[in-house]
Amino acid sequence: MCIAMPAEVLEIKEGNIGVVDFGDLQQEVRLDLVDVKVGEFVLVHVGFAIQRLSREEGLETREVFRQVYAAMEE
Amino acid sequence: MAVGKEILDTLHALVDRDITLMHICGTHEAAIARAGLRSVLPERLKIVMGPGCPVCITPQGEIDAALDLVERDCTIATYGDLLRVPGTKGSLESSGGDVRVVQGIHKAAEIARREPDREVVFISVGFETTAPTVAATILSRPPENFSILSCHRLVPPAMAWLLGQGEASLDGFLLPGHVCAVMGYEEYERFPVPQVVAGFEPEDILLGLLMAVQQVREGAHRVENAYPRVVTREGNVKAKRLMYEVFEPYDVEWRGFPVIPASGLRLKPEFEGYDAQKKYDIEIRHVDKHSACICDKVLRGIARPSDCKLFGKVCTPRTPVGPCMVSHEGACKIWHLYESRRA
Ligand code: SF4
């Protein structure tokens, strides 16, 4: 529940909605809490981007989370 | 784990006394258990999990309040992790009511918009990572048939309680990475104890432990950031501002803890219309525990899941007795997962 995952912002739609890419999955998330541009990375939690990340952080961190969460979700 | 090996060797050389460090984060626990870190650490270095699972620290009285709302024929929307947490009379899952799992509060508000004839209540648990998402949604003025049961808690007041109380003899803390991503770590600087914000790779965690151990040896106490990739001192300023625009702190009980001053978040008076407790006149009662479940001790860092007589026998993820076996972030659930894998 406190789980958060880095994702890349692919598109910004009307109403503070962004389409983000988690690497293997694309999803719409709320952007109310961050000011971001397309191509930037964000940390996503319960359907909201909660913080902006640099590109390297995003890519580096994503794999770690994926492994930890894959196990937790079993 | 070449870097890890070096850090680990240094740790073994440095730990020359009994040191207990607490982390407050389910993702840390999962990362530690997954990498089997406890088995390779110096014997005198103990890592305990504290109250780092929002679902687990939600007291039974608040689960019962959610069940009361089912009885009032409300549609309940919440996170999947909460469904099987036992209340006094069953769980949300077994309640037979209209209970729906949502990804987050925005989806619950959508239900209220789509189904104006239903009273929709979002059971809102979570630490500072989650509260800003709730604040943003409330500020978007959802329809009148929408409200929340606020079960939010703040991490620093619980740390203050643990430090004041001393039963877990803690020498330092690994601070929760995602809470700090939002809040920063400025407010932790008031605690006179070694603290390190740590990331989630085995190397990150080892580095965090090493930095904390060094502080313990020096007799120092400061907040160090071993996770600058994601965490800054000030955090997400916008998220913090929205959170305090909508919520105010109040004194509240945690599971396993007494009432901790200013440790909960409730809606400010101007958002009262969204407060399910007021709207439906729901009373939150204190419930004494009667089962052999020791979740309370696990959450205070003075017992391990394997110390529980029920662990893995009566209490399993399929037949959970306490919330620590229900939530993905609960210590019992995480230990059960990795023990059954190793066996
Ligand atoms: S194993 Fe089950 S009964 Fe024991 S402390 Fe954990 S959740 Fe409670």
Topology alike, domains B1-53+163-225 and B55-154+235-280: yes
Reported as a pLDDT band with limits 50, 70 and 90, residue A68 is low
Identify all chain A residues contacting B328, using CB atoms and an 8 Å cutoff.
1, 3, 72-73
Question: What does the pLDDT look like over B96-142, one tens digit per residue?
Answer: 999 999 999 999 999 999 999 999 999 999 999 999 999 999 999 99
CB contact (8 A) between residue A1 and residue B133: no
B198-B203-B208 Cα angle (round to 5): 30
Nearest CB among A2, A32, A71 relative to B329 is that of: A2
Contacts for A49-54 with beta carbons within 8 Å, 24 or more apart? A49/A7, A49/A9, A49/A18, A49/A20, A50/A4, A50/B129, A50/B132, A50/B133, A50/B178, A50/B181, A50/B182, A50/B236, A50/B239, A51/B181, A51/B182, A51/B230, A51/B235, A51/B236, A51/B239, A52/B236, A53/A6, A53/B229, A53/B230, A54/B229
Distance (Å, whole) CA B16 – CA B334: 30
Mean pLDDT in residue range B203-226: 93
Nearest CB among B105, B178, B236 relative to A2 is that of: B178
CB pairs under 8 A between A and B: 129
| Whether the predicted pLDDT of A54 surpasses 80 | no
Q: Which fold has domain A3-71?
A: SH3 type barrels. (2.30.30)
Top-confidence residue, B2 or B145: B145
What ipTM goes with this model?
A: 0.89
CATH superfamily of B55-154+235-280: HypD, alpha/beta domain 2 (3.40.50.11740)
What mean pLDDT is reported for chain B? 93
State how far the alpha carbon of B333 is from the alpha carbons of A73, B30, B104, B320, in Å. Answer: 11, 10, 22, 9
Q: What is the DSSP string of B166-204?
A: -TT---EEEEPHHHHHHH-SGGGTTSSS-EEE--SSHHH
* Most confident region among B117-131, B154-168, B327-341 by mean pLDDT: B117-131
Share of chain B above pLDDT 90, in %: 83
The CA dihedral of B99, B153, A20, A12, to the nearest 10 degrees, is 100
pLDDT at position B339 is: 78
pLDDT at position A65 is: 63
| Whether the predicted pLDDT of B47 surpasses 70 | yes
Q: Where in chain A are the domains?
A: 3-71
Q: How far is the CA of B279 from the centre of ligand 1 (A)?
A: 34
Residue type, B187: E
CB contact (8 A) between residue B337 and residue A74: yes
Q: Which fold has domain B1-53+163-225?
A: Rossmann fold (3.40.50)
Out of B85, B308, B318, give the residue to mutate to test ligand 1, the one with the largest number of ligand atoms within 8 Å of its CB.
B308
pLDDT at position B343 is: 47
